[in-house]
Structure 1
C-alpha cells in the first residue's frame, strides 16, 4: 500500500484507513512490521517516495524492481543498517527507540548476498554470534541445526569446513543458518540463493517455508530470478510503478 505519488505499489494489503491526529498507523501491535512515509533520494533521483508497507505473520514479501532501484537499500534501511532519510517504523507496535538499536537489528536480520565470514570453521562462525551481548540469552542448539542441515542436503561434516574456503553458495547457506538460529521476527533476504544450484535453491526455499510456519515470523526477499519471486512470495512490493 502506497500513496498514489509514491512510485511503488504493493499487492495484498488492506486499504488505508484514516487515523485520528496523533495516532500513527504503525501502532497496531498485531502487525510484525509497519513502515510509513519512507522517502529516499539520491541526488535528484527519487528511489521511493511516501512508501508504506506492512508485514504480517507468515508473509513472504517479494521485492520487485530493476537493478539500481534501491531494493538492497530498502532492506538495509528497514534493519536500520542505513539511515532513513524520512519515515517511521514500528515492530510489533513499538518504535526502534523503544526497542533499542541492537534489539531491533536482532529482530530484523538482514542477509547480504555476499556474507561476511570469520576465520575458523562453519561451526565457529555459527557459535560466534552468541558472544554478542544481545544474543547472550540464546543457546547453541545443534539438534535443531542438524534438522536444518538435513533439509539443505548437508551432513554434520559441513560444520567442520573452513569458512574462508567455502564456495559462494556454501557461504550463503552458512549465513542463513547463522540468522535462523537467532530466531528473528523478520528475515530480510537479499538474493539469498544467487550462488546456489537449482536443487540447493529448492532446499533453501523449503527450509524457509518450514521456518515461517513454525512461529510468528515473516520475510522479505529480493531475487533476479523472477520465477523464484513468483514461486516463493505470497505478496509483492513493486518499486517501479
Structure 2
C-alpha cells in the first residue's frame, strides 16, 4: 500500500545527515512505530513522507504511484501528517473540518463525523464548536486527530498523538485507530507493544543542535 525507498536528508553540503536510507513498506492496516532519541529526525521524517519538507534522496509510493502522479496537494490529503502540538487554527475544530473537506484535493471522498469520533474519546459535541484557544491541550489533540480521521486519509502520520492524554483516554484513541494504516511516533514501549505491527528505530546521526526541526504550521490539507 505504502512504500518509502532510501529516504535521506542531508543537513548541509558537508555530508552531515539527519537520517539516511530509510526504507518503509506498509500493507493496509499496518502500524509502523518510529522510535529513537531526541535529534534523530523522527518528526522531520514524517514531514518528508507527507511532502511537507523536501529531502535529499529517495522516493515514496502510494499504491505504486509517486507524489508527482497524484499531485502534491492530493498526496498530502491521502498521506496526512498530524502534528503532536496542534497549530492554533482560527475558529473552531468544525471550522477546520469544513474548510478542509471543501478543498479540491478532497473532491469525491467520503467523510466521517469528527464529533462522533471525538465522543468515543470523552469529548462532547460542544468542544468542536469552541474556539481552539479555549480548549485544553488534551482536548485540542483529540479534536485535531478526530478531524484528521474524519477526512479518511489512506495513511496517517501520527506524531505522538496521545502525548497529552491520560491513560484511559489513550486506550480509547488506540482502539479507534485499530485497522488504520499508520506511521506512529511514540516514546512509550507499552504503547509500541499495543499498537505496532512493525518498528523502525532511528539513530542520531547529527547532534540535536544540528537538527533544525521547528514545527511547520500547516493545515491538514492544502487546496
Equivalent residue, structure 2, for 1:77: 48
Alignment counterpart, residue 145 of structure 1, candidates 86, 100, 114:
114
Q: How many residues align?
A: 202
Distance 2:114 2:57 in 1: 39
Alignment counterpart, residue 231 of structure 1, candidates 194, 197, 217:
194
Equivalent residue, structure 1, for 2:65: 94
**Matched residue of 2:44: which SS?**
helix
Length-normalised TM-score, structure 1: 0.77
Distance 2:93 2:72 in 1: 27
Distance 1:138 1:95 in 2: 20
1:127 paired to 2:90: no
Alignment counterpart, residue 144 of structure 2, candidates 164, 175, 180:
175
Equivalent residue, structure 2, for 1:28: none
- Decide which structure has the larger Cα Rg and report it: 1
How far 1:100 moved relative to its partner?
A: 0.7
How far 1:140 moved relative to its partner?
A: 5.9
Alignment of 1:100-111 (within 5 A): 100-111=71-82
Distance 2:5 2:124 in 1: 43
CA contact (8 A) 1:127 1:140 kept: no
CA contact (8 A) 2:84 2:163 kept: yes
Equivalent residue, structure 2, for 1:51: 22
**Matched residue of 1:189: which SS?**
strand
Equivalent residue, structure 2, for 1:3: none
- Could you list the runs of 5+ residues in structure 2 that have no partner in the other structure? 205-223
CA RMSD of aligned residues (A): 1.9
1:163 paired to 2:132: yes
**Matched residue of 1:48: which SS?**
strand
**Matched residue of 2:139: which SS?**
helix
CA contact (8 A) 2:115 2:128 kept: no
1:116 paired to 2:73: no
